[in-house]
Amino acid sequence: MTQPVIQSDRDANGVYLRVSGDLVTQSLDMVEKAFEGFRADSNELTVDLSKVGALDTGGAWLIADVARRAKASGANVHYEGLKPAHSALLETVAENIPDDPGVATEKRSFTDWVASVGERTAQAGKDMLSLLGFLGLTLHRLVRTILMPRRLRKAALVSQMEETGLKAIPIVALMGFLIGVVLAFQGATQLKQFGAEIFVVELISISVLRELGILLTAIIVAGRSGSAFTASIGSMKVQEEIDAMRTLGLDPIEVLVIPRVVALLIMLPILGFIADLAALIGGGLMSWIDLGVSPGMFVTRLKENTGIWQFAIGMIKAPFFALVIGVIACWQAMQVKGSAQSVGQRTTASVVQSIFLVIALDALFSIFFSVMEV
Amino acid sequence: MDGTTLEQTSKSDAQREAVIRVRNLTNQFGPQVVHQNLNLDVWRGEVLGIVGGSGTGKSVLLRTIVGLNRPAAGSIEVLGVDVLNGPEQERRRIERRWGVAFQDGALFSSLTVLQNVMAPLREHTGLSESLMCALGDLKISLVGLPQLSCGKLPSELSGGMRKRAALARALALDPEIVFLDEPTAGLDPIGAAAYDELIGELQHALGLTVFMVTHDLDSLYAICDRVAVLAEKRVLVEGPIEEMTKVDHPWVQEYFTGPRARAAQEKGQDR
């Protein structure tokens, strides 16, 4: 490829612009500035193209642009040494230069910003309504499924249970075990100071069974399965699969949402139970190593001082968390529009919202149960 | 990019230059053999239409040539470079000299049409923002899209407009070869005819070589210089479309002498 060069000179007949070399898109950066800076300050402009090697639309655009600007300032433009192959291209390009090139970049003013705040607030309200509507719809289909169990997609349900439940057991168990270890270790350090080491059993059992076990399990499931729900149903939305389902007389809620929500309703309590168990084992092990509380002592104290209600309170919350995670994830998926980017945004929103709502709901439960004095 | 080669299809074999040379290509997916010892030449400056029944591997052939699918055996040369085993750097350079327009556009869904067309320029050239913008506008205008569509997202366009936008992106770097996968599938007859005309015009103005997978008999008659028929795992016949009716093969006979073919032929002669 020969490097493109432009030169301009003038004589009595006007200004000459001499172009030589290969004027192709790949090499335009070398002459771009020169073309841009060129001004035909005369009434006659002659563009000499006899030494041009290869020419493509990019190069033709630069020449056509010079000619256009010269014409706009009232000059006559002639071409010299124009090869026939180039002339057709130059003509096509000149014809196709848009009248107002370039999409102007939008500038945002302060009022735009204020307006966007208002729009977002209104949108948040609308979203809330839409989410409530979706929750109602899901509950309606759920009740219908319970009344008519034949409508339940059993194959989908089992596969979702495997995906969201069975495959989550290792991570949930490990998380629970570590939580138990950490609580025992940190609790022991504090409790040792006033000789109340034995209370580490209550510390672990009550905090894990009542709050941490199920809460952290729900957070892991929200991140793991909630995101998967949104991404998979969301991509189906992009591919118009949801619309296709509707036209085939299939109810997307029944086919896609119910198996996922039911799978979570069944699996989240089980996962929570596994996390509880793992945390007690981890805590017991750590108490034994660090404080010398034997496993026998740990179990006896657990039975005597931690009522069944502590465990029940944790388990009662599980289905509510499951419903929140499932409904938010599926609702976000249904909000996906058009692009792959939208799937990503909705997946992020799904995880953030469901984790937030799970924690908020947990706080509400906490208040409720303490008022009820259980 | 040499316009003088436009008329070469009528010249003898010795004079024309093969821009794509496929030799003994074999493609296999598991036990299913799609191509076996397939040979094909594409000459510079021609519009080659690839036809064949469903499942004869038309799209696979296209994907193999542009390097999206690695064949089991055979060699492929594009613009004199071995695209299968040549040095990495040369293959990269070759990729900038072809453009591919996929069947459904395959536009980047998070970018506007203009940004889509500018994407290859941004990646492969050192041009200024304003020049890239202007060239993007030019390409969009060349494929006949209104300026209004520059700022739109692909999801806001109709199917036909997406195909045009995909062509604009394929043309962004001024390639020598353009690959089109079913360019007129899913378009209404008027839109399809307009698209055919557009490809013909661009091919003449820009001196392109067009490799087109198509089912559309109208396109074949309207713009293809040559047709290659894929059947029996190879290129069964190739040549000008007028000669296809003389080929003694049941599928080719049915395809090129059926009622639709006759209608397309009459229409093609009217133009």
Q: What angle do CA A80, A81, A87 make, to 5 degrees?
A: 90
Residues B182 and B254 in one domain: yes
Choosing from A55, A70, A96, the residue where a domain stops is A96
CA A263 from chain centre, in angstroms, equals 23
CATH code, A80: 3.30.750.24
Q: Is residue B217 part of a domain?
A: yes
Determine which helix (DSSP H) or strand (DSSP E) holds B24, and give its type and residue range. Answer: strand B18-29
pTM of model > 0.90: no
| C-alpha–C-alpha distance, residues A330 and B245, integer Å | 56
Residues B192 and B250 in one domain: yes
Residues A90 and A157 in one domain: no
Interface check for B128 against chain A (CB to CB < 8 A): the answer is: yes
pLDDT of residue B2: 43
Domain count, chain A: 2
Helices (H) and strands (E) in chain B, counts: 10, 10
pLDDT of residue A318: 96
Mean pLDDT of chain B: 83
Residues A90 and A158 in one domain: no
**Residue A278 confidence (pLDDT) above 70:** yes
Length of chain A: 374
| C-alpha–C-alpha distance, residues B247 and A328, integer Å | 62
C-beta of residue A361 within 8 angstroms of C-beta of residue A324: yes
| C-alpha–C-alpha distance, residues B229 and A80, integer Å | 46
Residues A161 and A302 in one domain: yes
Q: Is residue B127 part of a domain?
A: yes
A1: confidence class by pLDDT, cuts 50, 70, 90? low
Tell me which range, A221-230, B6-15, B196-205, is most confidently predicted by mean pLDDT. Answer: A221-230
* Cα separation values, B195 from A147, A347, B221, B228, Å: 56, 38, 14, 21
Give A303-337 pLDDT, tens digit per residue: 888 888 899 999 999 999 999 999 999 999 999 98
**Residue A195 confidence (pLDDT) above 90:** no
More confident residue, A14 or A218: A218
* Two tokens, residue A78: 């002639």
Residues A173 and A279 in one domain: yes
For residue B130, give the chain A residue with the closest CA: A102
Q: Is residue B197 part of a domain?
A: yes
User: Containing domain of residue A47, as a range?
Assistant: 5-96
Domain count, chain B: 2
Tell me which range, A42-56, A128-142, B254-268, is most confidently predicted by mean pLDDT. Answer: A128-142
Residues B181 and B73 in one domain: yes
Residues A274 and A170 in one domain: yes
Choosing from B159, B175, B191, the residue where a domain stops is B175
Q: Is residue B206 part of a domain?
A: yes
Determine which helix (DSSP H) or strand (DSSP E) holds A71, and give its type and residue range. Answer: helix A57-72
Length of chain B: 271
| Mean pLDDT computed over B249-268 | 80
What SS3 state is found at B109?
A: coil
Q: Is residue B1 part of a domain?
A: no
Q: Is residue B24 part of a domain?
A: no
C-beta of residue A175 within 8 angstroms of C-beta of residue A288: no
Residues A15 and A86 in one domain: yes
Residues B184 and B64 in one domain: yes
pLDDT of residue B14: 52
Q: Is residue B131 part of a domain?
A: yes
C-beta pairs of A303-312 under 8 Å, 24+ apart in sequence: A305/A201, A305/A202, A305/A205, A306/A201, A306/A202, A306/A205, A306/A206, A306/A209, A309/A374, A310/A205, A310/A206, A310/A209, A310/A210, A311/A209, A311/A210, A311/A276
Cβ contacts of B121 on chain A, cutoff 8 Å: 25
Which has the closest alpha carbon to B74: B18, B20, B22, B19? B22
Choosing from A96, A124, A156, the residue where a domain stops is A96
Q: Do A84 and B207 touch (CB under 8 A)?
A: no
**Residue B15 confidence (pLDDT) above 70:** no
DSSP type of residue B105: B
For residue A57, give the chain B residue with the closest CA: B174
User: Containing domain of residue B157, as a range?
Assistant: 112-175
A103: confidence class by pLDDT, cuts 50, 70, 90? low
Choosing from B128, B146, B175, the residue where a domain stops is B175
Residues A192 and A259 in one domain: yes
| Mean pLDDT computed over A26-36 | 82
pLDDT of residue A272: 96
pLDDT of residue B196: 86
**Residue A85 confidence (pLDDT) above 80:** no
Q: What angle do CA B43, B48, B49 make, to 5 degrees?
A: 160
Interface check for B18 against chain A (CB to CB < 8 A): the answer is: no
Q: Is residue A323 part of a domain?
A: yes
CATH code, B45: 3.40.50.300
Residues A152 and A87 in one domain: no
| Mean pLDDT computed over B174-178 | 89
| Mean pLDDT computed over B210-216 | 88
Q: Is residue A326 part of a domain?
A: yes
- Kindly report the number of other CB atoms within 10 A of residue A192's CB atom: 13
| Mean pLDDT computed over B150-166 | 87
Choosing from A71, A96, A121, the residue where a domain stops is A96
- Alpha helical stretches, state H, B125-158: 129-142
pLDDT of residue B9: 42
Q: Is residue A108 part of a domain?
A: no
Q: Do A341 and B110 touch (CB under 8 A)?
A: yes
Mean pLDDT of chain A: 89
Q: Do B137 and A98 touch (CB under 8 A)?
A: yes
Choosing from B175, B201, B230, the residue where a domain stops is B175
Residues B192 and B154 in one domain: no
Q: Which of A83, A101, A339 sits opposite B155 (nearest CB)?
A: A339
Residues A78 and A205 in one domain: no
**Residue B115 confidence (pLDDT) above 80:** yes
Residues A85 and A173 in one domain: no
pLDDT of residue B268: 67
Q: What angle do CA A305, A310, A313 make, to 5 degrees?
A: 170
A219: confidence class by pLDDT, cuts 50, 70, 90? very high
Q: What angle do CA B9, B225, B262 make, to 5 degrees?
A: 145
Q: Is residue A24 part of a domain?
A: yes
B interface test, pick of A36, A57, A92 with most B CB neighbours within 10 Å: A57
What SS3 state is found at B227?
A: strand
Cβ contacts of B4 on chain A, cutoff 8 Å: 85
Residues A239 and A331 in one domain: yes
Residues B130 and B210 in one domain: no
Residues A225 and A154 in one domain: yes
DSSP type of residue A103: P
**Residue B12 confidence (pLDDT) above 80:** no
Interface check for B97 against chain A (CB to CB < 8 A): the answer is: no
Residues B47 and B125 in one domain: no
